[in-house]
């Protein structure tokens, strides 16, 4: 592996929305393409044609704008020709582009892939990346089922590559402060209470799209669930959950659950898409309570705090701004380049989280307490 680590980012095609048009004889390293062309004043109807290298017509469409986004006709390592003309006008010059050339060498040199696609696409692109010999940092939630997670980890091990689920918040130093207070001030830990929610996303937000893995559990509730595992440093033994589904979108819009841990410890978790913004958790012990102010999505410029509640007093520890996302990437890159030892088992952690998420889904569907040992 080279001294420099090359990371490929796979994300939504909106990243390419600022392209003017594929340059003539250009080589693209993406296959969701936004075609754009100039126009004279007052012209707003165009005929657009796209052909492949064999001159087979793929698209012949009337367009009432100066751009057209194509997502499902263009393939990797292929050559295409396109042209456009205003209605009652002549054809433009024919432009060509390919999805090969530099992309082939780029993929050869890539060491790792960061996948920030919608959750419903995580398995597909994680597996493709791992089979191509790339390490994977996959955004949370890793996928939509425990079975899917098992497949992803199996491929990672067969490919001798690492896969990390991207809960960047765990790398924020405020959680180390929480653990320090638990060890020195809290006494015996009794329970964890975690909440995370915000006002409804817009109607076209991917969080409302069932086929893309939308819903509050996959997108939001996973954070306090994961935080409870960090606090207790163990996996729960059972779960009882209730998910409220939106009748228009058929995805869960709120989630409430109780996770039972060993020795009578428990986690109470609530989240939703119809809430005043909250992003926090607290830990209740026999001698004190610890609470956070901004626990999960912490902007890099944001100063946050950890509070110790004890003897009718509140002691605040201010945590200076850090970029938790950058810290996560640094750890991941240093592990896969073997600059540091793995701080925890990435793959086991991903599977433990996926198993718990599956138990939560089953509990909601069957309306009963589910033991993790039954998953």
Q: What is the pLDDT of residue 139?
A: 97
**pLDDT score for 24:** 85
Are 205 and 343 contained in the same domain?
yes
The whole-angstrom separation of Cα 98 and Cα 81 is 9
Judgement on whether residues 89 and 179 belong to the same structural domain of the protein:
no
Residue range 137-144: mean pLDDT, rounded: 98
In a domain, 327, yes or no: yes
Amino acid 92: pLDDT:
65
- Please state the separation of Cα 33 from the chain's center in Å: 23
CA distance linking residue 302 with residue 280, whole number of Å: 14
- Show which of 98, 117, 135 is a domain's final residue: 98
Residues 308 and 179 in one domain: yes
Asked, for residue 256, whether it belongs to a domain, the answer is yes
Kindly state whether residues 91 and 188 are assigned to the same domain.
Answer: no
Worst-scoring range by mean pLDDT, 20-24, 99-103, 222-226, 230-234? 99-103
266 and 345 share one domain: yes
**Is the confidence at residue 101, as pLDDT, over 60?**
no
User: Is 348 a domain residue?
Assistant: yes
* Nearest CA among 27, 33, 30, 31 for reference residue 101: 27
pLDDT at 318 over 50: yes
Asked if residue 22 is part of any domain, the answer here is no
Q: Which pLDDT score is estimated for 7?
A: 73
Q: Same domain, yes or no, for 92 and 204?
A: no
Whether the pLDDT of residue 119 is over 70: the answer is yes
SS (H, E, C) the chain: CCCCCCEEEECCHHHHCCCCCCCCCEECCCCCEEEECCCCCCCCCEEEEEEECCCCEEEEEEECCCEEEECCCCCCCCEEEEEEEECCCCCCCCEEEECCCHHHHHHHHCCEEEECCCHHHHHHHHHHHHHCCCEEEEECCCCCCHHHHHHHHHHHHHCCCCEEEECHHHHCHHHHHHHHHHHHCCCCEEEEEEEEECCCCCCCCHHHCHHHCCCHHHHHHHHHHHHHHHHHCCCCCEEEEEEEECCCCCCEEEEEEEEECHHHCEEEEEEECCCCCEEEEEEEECCCEEEECCCCCCCCCCCEEEEEEECCEEEEEEECCCCHHHHHHHHHHHHHCCCCCCCCCHHHHHHHHHHHHHHHHHHHHHCCCEEHHHC
Q: pLDDT band at 10, cuts 50/70/90? A: low
Lowest-pLDDT range of 54-63, 170-179, 353-362: 54-63
Both 207 and 304 in one domain: the answer is yes
Please check the confidence at residue 137 and state whether its pLDDT lies above 80.
yes
**Biggest CA pair distance of the chain:** 82
Looking up residue 78, the CATH number of its domain turns out to be 2.60.40
- pLDDT of 89 higher than 80: no
pTM exceeding 0.75: yes
Total structural domains within the chain: 2
Domain of 79, in residue numbers: 32-98
Q: Is residue 24 part of a domain?
A: no
CATH at 365: 3.30.360.10
Q: Are residues 173 and 57 in the same domain?
A: no
pLDDT of 93 strictly over 90: no
Picking from 48, 74, 98, the residue at the C-terminal end of a domain is 98
Residues 186 and 265 in one domain: yes
Q: What is the pLDDT of residues 177-219, one digit of tens each?
A: 999 999 999 999 999 999 999 999 998 899 999 999 999 999 9
Residue ending a domain, choose from 56, 74, 98: 98
Edge to edge, the sheet with strand 79-86 lists 26-27, 95-98, 79-86, 46-52, 57-63
Examine residue 146 and state whether it is found in any structural domain, yes or no: no
Region 150-155: mean pLDDT is 98
Does residue 144 belong to any structural domain of this protein? no
pLDDT at 364: 98
Burial of 8 (0-12, 13-18, 19+ CB in 10 A): middle
Judged against a pLDDT cut of 70, whether residue 107 lies above it is answered with: no
Say yes or no: 64 and 179 in one domain.
no
The answer to whether position 365 is within a domain reads yes
My answer on whether 257 and 345 are in the same domain is yes
Per residue in 296-311, pLDDT (tens digit) is 999 999 999 999 999 9
Residue that wins the pLDDT comparison between 27 and 178: 178
In this structure, of 24-28, 77-81, 281-285, 346-350, the range with the lowest mean pLDDT score is 24-28
* Pair 353, 218 in one domain: yes
Q: What is the model's pLDDT at position 28? A: 86
Token pair in block for residue 64: 């009432």
Can you tell me the mean pLDDT for 115-133?
94
Across the chain, mean pLDDT equals: 90
Which region among 42-51, 99-108, 280-289 has the lowest average model confidence (pLDDT)? 99-108
pLDDT in tens, 214-269: 999 999 999 999 999 999 999 999 999 999 999 999 999 999 999 999 999 999 99
């Amino acid at each position: 592996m080279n001294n420099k680590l090359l990371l490929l980012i796979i994300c939504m095609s909106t990243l390419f929305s600022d392209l003017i048009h594929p340059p003539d004889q250009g080589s693209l390293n993406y296959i969701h393409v936004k075609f754009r062309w100039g126009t004279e004043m007052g012209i707003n109807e165009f005929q657009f044609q796209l052909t492949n290298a064999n001159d087979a017509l793929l698209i012949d469409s009337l367009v009432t704008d100066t751009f057209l986004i194509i997502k499902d006709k263009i393939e990797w390592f292929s050559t295409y020709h396109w042209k456009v003309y205003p209605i009652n006008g002549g054809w433009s010059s024919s432009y060509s582009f390919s999805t090969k050339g530099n992309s082939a060498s780029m993929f050869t040199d890539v060491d790792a892939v960061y996948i920030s696609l919608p959750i419903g696409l995580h398995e597909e692109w994680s597996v493709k990346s791992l089979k191509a010999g790339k390490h994977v940092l996959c955004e949370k939630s890793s996928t939509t089922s425990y079975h899917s997670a098992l497949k992803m980890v199996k491929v990672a091990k067969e490919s001798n590559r690492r896969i990390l689920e991207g809960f960047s918040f765990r790398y924020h130093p405020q959680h180390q402060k929480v653990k320090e207070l638990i060890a020195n001030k809290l006494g015996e830990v009794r329970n964890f209470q975690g909440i995370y929610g915000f006002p409804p996303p817009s109607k076209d937000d991917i969080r409302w799209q069932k086929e893309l893995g939308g819903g509050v559990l996959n997108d939001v509730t996973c954070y306090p669930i994961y935080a409870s595992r960090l606090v207790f440093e163990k996996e729960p033994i059972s779960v009882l959950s209730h998910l409220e589904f939106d009748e228009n979108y058929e995805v869960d819009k709120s989630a409430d659950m109780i996770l039972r841990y060993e020795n009578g410890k428990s986690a109470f978790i609530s989240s939703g898409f119809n809430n005043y913004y909250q992003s926090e958790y607290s830990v209740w012990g026999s001698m004190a309570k610890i609470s956070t102010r901004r626990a999960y999505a912490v902007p890099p410029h944001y100063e946050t705090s950890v509070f110790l509640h004890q003897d009718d007093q509140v002691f605040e520890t201010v945590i200076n701004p850090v970029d938790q996302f950058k810290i996560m990437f640094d750890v991941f890159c240093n592990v896969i380049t073997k600059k540091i030892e793995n701080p925890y088992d990435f793959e086991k952690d991903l599977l433990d989280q996926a198993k718990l998420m599956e138990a939560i889904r089953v509990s909601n569907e069957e309306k009963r307490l589910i033991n993790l040992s039954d998953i």
